[in-house]
Every structure is written in C-alpha cells, then in structure tokens.
Structure 1
C-alpha cells in the first residue's frame, strides 16, 4: 500500500514508511516488520504549544503474516522562523531528549526500588521511542499517552484542587528523586541549562536568578510547568483524576525548586484557589518529606520555613510569569496570537477578560507578600 497521511507538510519530507519502520522496530525488534501506511494529524491545537510542533501519527504495519498498528507523538521544530531560530540556539531538543531517555528512567528506578508497592510507582514522563537531533530535521518520537487514556485539561479553566494536589505531590516526588540522583551522580546533570534568547530587563533578572545557587533547595526543575505540559488520566468509575504525566522537558535546569512552584502556581490553578496556595505548598512539602524518608535521604529535605523563605526570595519570578506567560495561557481560543509576530514585536497578546480578572485578584496577593518591590529583588 502507498504511504498516506492526512496532512501535507513539505517540511516533513523525512516522514515516510522507511522512517516509521525504523521507529516501530526500536520497540518491536522484528526484522520482518513492514509499514504499509500511516495517518498523520496535529496533536495539539493553536495556543496549546509554542516551542515545538507536535504531530500524532498512527502507523499501520504487517509482521509475520499479521497486521497491526501503533500510535506515536512526533515533536519537531516550530514552523515559525523566529521561534525555530530561538529553539535551535537554546538546544532544547537535545536537553529534552537527554532528560526523558537518560534521567527520567533512573529517577523512576530510584523511586520504584524504594517503594513497598512497585506497581503504584508511575513514570513521570512519556517514553522516548526515538530521537534525531541533527538540524534541520530535529525529531523526538514519544509514546502516545492518549492511547493510554491521558488527556490535557482545558487551559482557560485552570485546575481544581484535586488536580493541583496530584500535580504537586508528583512534582515533590520528582524533585526529591532528582536531588538524590544529583547527589549520587552529578555528572549526569552537566549541561542541563541553555541560552535563553529574549532581551528585556525582566528576563535579564530571570536569567540571573535562575542560576543554581548554593544553599537553595536545588533539583532538576521541569522549567515549563503549566497545565498544558501535563496530561491526566481519570478513573472510569468515579471520573476523578488519578494519574499524571509531565510532558515537554525542553527547559529543564538544575536550580531552585521554587521556580517550578512559582511557574505552576502562577499559571495553572483555577483563580478560585488563589488564596489556597499555601495549602498546596504545604502538601508539596509533606510529600517531599515522605519521599526523602523513603529514599533514606532525610538530610536533603528542606524545613518548611526554608522552603517558604526561598519562595519569597524568588517572588518576583511569580510576578513576571503572571504578567508575561499567563496572558498566553488564558487567551481566548479564537484570538491565539501569531508567536512569530509577537517575537518580532509586530503583534501583541490580546488580554482576555478572564486574564484581567485573574490578574486583578493576584496583584493584592503579590503586594501583600512584598513581591512587587522590584528594586529590592534587583539589588539582591
């Protein structure tokens, strides 16, 4: 049968039966396998992702007289010129590939070996099936979590308490295990940072403060922890959220865990949870304590007072995220901006009514915490 796909994209000239046979064979290990056709479509909608283009491909094949099919998610460079240039300079595809293929499996192994019930230990990320990191054809192929029942939440609604608690408990386990792994094998974490190509005072501050500092609670941060970079699975009987996978590890860095916490809390919880962030932080800290005890590394566990002091020290980061990224999160589906024009200062983000209402609630909280004192942060 001929090669078929449901979308035409000249930049995907490498996507053919031969390439997909190589991908499928990495897990099937069957030399007789032959790809007969494939169906291709976008895996995300406009506004759901800016740092890559994600396709979902269903591959049909035959092997030893039988037919079968597999579904994968393929990540490639953004189609917009300016963003693709930034992504290339930042080397984020290489970083993501390293994390999900080398670090994430070891983090999972650390937790699974320490757990009394190994079946309850879940991976943090989708499995990396294949990667090709030579420009211009930069490709990462992942297992399709949708096939396992995972889906994204509605970005403009925000996450309720059940979702937020699951996120922060999982994040605490991930942070704790990466801190342990960093202590055991620091060389594994070399070159886990990259160049950030934006040139404003706010971003200059972020770049400076984002560097690893001795005395902080340092972990391998996700770096881009908002609700569209996580997928959830729900109970068939109750409908309640029960499992999570983090996706898009392109901005990972060894630095303070406070950055992940601020990033998530400033972008993803429902606005009606704004006054309950302390509850979420305490649940994160409680899970940290339990995980470090399980891993026999209690000495790495920061006291709650230290964690809160660290969050205050990085408080301006929360304000910057709320002012720069939250507008993209809450933009109306019909008004998603052209990211290339935004980066070229040819277009701005149209603030939605929901964003303005949310920011109006956030500003008094930031002011009460002292996070709007920009001069104080810039002097530190």
Structure 2
C-alpha cells in the first residue's frame, strides 16, 4: 500500500494527544511509527492502522509513547464503492464524534461505556479518519481464532450480553434525558437508512450485500439437493427457493425501527471480529465493542440474535439462550436503574416473546447467510494477508459458493454443520413439513 504515514495527520495526532492527556501544552515528537493493525477479514471496510506516537509534557521532558488506532477511508475502488453505498464511514464518524459524548454524559461516570475512547473524528469528505484508543494497551484482545469455527463459550457470551445490556441502557437513557427530540432518528437522520439491509427501487444503486445474499441462496439450494428428507423435498418443489428469495425483504423489514415497539440505538455488527476481551488468568473478565459502522435504531432483539447467529451453533443456543437473555436483561435493568431511568422500556417476558415470534426469522436468515463462511475458517479469508480488489469483488459476488459446496462434499464435520443450518431454515419456513419429517 506504500507509505502508510500518508493516512496520518500530524495535527490530528496533536489533537488526539491533547485529548488523551488533557493538556494543551503536550509536545509531539516527529518520529511516529505506523503499521497495519488488522489483516484478512478484519479491516475490510476501512484501513485500520496502529500508530505509535512519541510525546512529552513540558515540565517533565521525558519521551513517552502512546498508541492510537486510526481508521482511514479505504483506497481501492471496490472497497470505496462498498463503503460509500452503505455510508459506513460517515455513520461511524458521526457515532464517535457526536453520539459517544452524549452516552458518556448520560453515564455520569456511573456506568462504563463498553467502547474505545475516541480522541478525534473527521468526516469532512477530504481526509476522513477516526483516532481511537488502542485497547491492546489495556490488555484487550480477540479470542483464539478457533472461536470463529467453534461456539464462543458461555463465559464470553455472558460478558457480551452484559455489555449489550449496558450499551442499550445508555442509548435508552440518553435518548430520554439528553435528546430534545426524544428520538435518535430525529436527532441523527444518518441512522434512519440502514447500511446493509434495504430494498432499492428501480434506478437506485444495488445494496452492497444483495449479490452476496443471492449467491448464498444458490449455495443453500445446492446443498439441500444433497440432503435427505424435507430439505431435498422442498428444494425439488421450488418452495425453498421462494422462501430464500424473500429473505432479503424480510431482513430489510425486521431491521427497521419498530413503530409500536421497543427501539434502541444498536451496534448492528456485534460479533467476534468486533469484540475485544480482557483476561485474568485466562478467564475473560471484560469486553469492549468496536467497529460501529452499522449502527441502527431498532428492536434490541436484532443485536442479540445477530450475535448468537454469528458466534454460536443451534445446539449451544438451545442449551443456553434463556440464561444468556436473562444476563442481558439483568444488565439492562441494573444500568437503567443506576442511570435513574427506571424500569426498562420492555419486560423480560415481552422481549422473549418478540425474539421468538417476531424476530426469529432475522436470526435464522443471518445464520444461513453468514455462518457458512465463518465456519470455513481459513478457507473463507486468509488471516495473514490482504485480498486484492479482484479477490474481494469475487468474494462479494459469489459468497464463496464453490468453497462451501466443496467442503460440504468432502468434510463430514462441515457437512453436519451446514445440514443443521439448512434444517433450521426449513424448520422455520415449513414447520408442518419439519414436524412430519421427525
């Protein structure tokens, strides 16, 4: 990519140091170091850099060092088009520049905001960049890469549910206490259009993930033909294709603000790649959420189901979802009480009912859409190198169809995982057929 320092502004480094130290007289030395902070699938929609910055305070004079994570606008044409279509960078910039200060103010220092500190965010269309806390300095890290292809364990999941409950509580309290309009969408119209899941009209640009979704349908149909029982039957009749072809509009409908329901400002992309954990003696004790490019105002079920669908198997969810939902609701209730808000805007009973009766399709569809690629592991996207623009475009257009079907045919464990995903779709879409098959 050439000289990475081209993405770094000296003025922004100075402003970030001032924000970090609380000192206007902090001095920046010239020899800062820049390197890539992410590889492979991470950093797909932005250039993520780790910048090591030397500085000193005038009364001390000693050279000190501070790391910043800097997110810059991507440079290759395919990624630029993807980010512009979804407004991904603008949303994250607005979130950190304008929303996070409101969350911090509403917290009053009593509730931890489960996000990295932001020291500077520029979204002027010329030198867009976001300067963030490097959580690695405080010991935060991603779990072992095997967690991508296995269930994230209960301890990790419980921390995430607690963080989501805390985050949602902060957005509910902030909306009621600080926003004159009493509504996130009125205060920040940029969040009213979904970044990924929206239906386009004739003449409008295609949503960035629509080709990926359509490719995933074909992959599921190919695997269904190789299965026994109801999946093969409904594929042969054409009924499964009709269901899959409606999945996009279903996603687009479910992620919208619920007019008569409970809505929160949600993370939108809460899964393993966007979670950093801090450990003590090998046990996870804290979690922070990163990558806020898909923030949306919607029912809290969307964040919860997205996480479960991306990070756990059907078997794990059946064993643990009740306990984990309780962990989420306990955190939501506790933090709203600390913030002086009162009872949550939704009861635990209603949350469970909404998740199972209204929003269940979101989890089922997301699971069938993204999980096969995640379970591919290194066959999905290499962790130690960047894909070139041609490879990226092919990935979005084919959704790794060939790799998924080939592994389905040759790897018994992967086949079992895919069959479980497909049967979950069939059980949801054809409940009577599924019952008779059992």
- State the TM-score, normalized to the length of structure 1: 0.82
* SS in structure 2 of the partner of residue 350 of structure 1: helix
The residue number in structure 1 matching 2:87 is 91
Which range is displaced more, 156-165 or 79-88? Answer: 79-88
Q: How many residues align?
A: 357
Q: For 1:20-59, what aligned pairs fall within 5 Å after superposition?
A: 20-28=13-21, 29-31=23-25, 33-59=27-53
The residue number in structure 1 matching 2:232 is none
Distance across 1 between alignment mates of 2:302 and 2:348: 16
CA drift of 1:58 comes to: 0.8
Question: Which among 321, 325, 342 is matched to residue 277 of structure 1?
Answer: 321
Q: For 1:279-294, what aligned pairs fall within 5 Å after superposition?
A: 279-294=323-338
The residue number in structure 1 matching 2:350 is 306
The residue number in structure 1 matching 2:417 is 358
The residue number in structure 1 matching 2:203 is none
Distance across 2 between alignment mates of 1:17 and 1:293: 43
The residue number in structure 1 matching 2:258 is 213
Q: For 1:1-380, what aligned pairs fall within 5 Å after superposition?
A: 9=2, 13-15=6-8, 17=10, 20-28=13-21, 29-31=23-25, 33-64=27-58, 65-112=61-108, 118=110, 121-135=111-125, 137-153=127-143, 154=145, 155-184=148-177, 185=179, 186=182, 189-191=187-189, 192-194=191-193, 195-196=195-196, 197-198=207-208, 199=210, 201=245, 202-235=247-280, 238-269=281-312, 273-275=316-318, 276-311=320-355, 312-333=357-378, 335-336=380-381, 338-345=391-398, 348=401, 350-351=403-404, 356-365=415-424, 367-368=426-427, 370=428
CA drift of 1:31 comes to: 4.2
The residue number in structure 2 matching 1:376 is none
User: Deviation per CA, 1:312-366, whole angstroms, max 9, x where unpaired?
Assistant: 3122211221122223433322541733222345964733656644343344455
CA drift of 1:367 comes to: 5.0
* SS in structure 2 of the partner of residue 66 of structure 1: coil
User: Deviation per CA, 1:109-135, whole angstroms, max 9, x where unpaired?
Assistant: 43456xxxx4xx422100111122133
Distance across 2 between alignment mates of 1:190 and 1:216: 20
* SS in structure 2 of the partner of residue 213 of structure 1: coil
- For the aligned residues, what is the CA RMSD? 2.9
Contact 1:225 1:264 in 2 (8 A): yes
Distance across 2 between alignment mates of 1:274 and 1:347: 26
* SS in structure 1 of the partner of residue 71 of structure 2: strand
Q: Which has the higher contact order (CA 8 A, sep 6+)?
A: 2
Q: 1:183 and 1:23, CA in 2 relative to 1: closer, same or farther beyond 3 A?
A: closer
User: Deviation per CA, 1:218-258, whole angstroms, max 9, x where unpaired?
Assistant: 101100111111100012xx321111111011111111111
Unmatched runs of 5 consecutive residues or more in structure 1: 1-7, 374-380
* SS in structure 2 of the partner of residue 122 of structure 1: coil
Q: 1:242 and 1:299, CA in 2 relative to 1: closer, same or farther beyond 3 A?
A: closer
Q: 1:137 and 1:322, CA in 2 relative to 1: closer, same or farther beyond 3 A?
A: same
Which range is displaced more, 304-313 or 219-228? Answer: 304-313
**Counting helix residues as a fraction of each chain, which structure ranks higher?**
2
CA drift of 1:170 comes to: 1.5
Distance across 2 between alignment mates of 1:26 and 1:162: 34
Contact 1:262 1:317 in 2 (8 A): yes
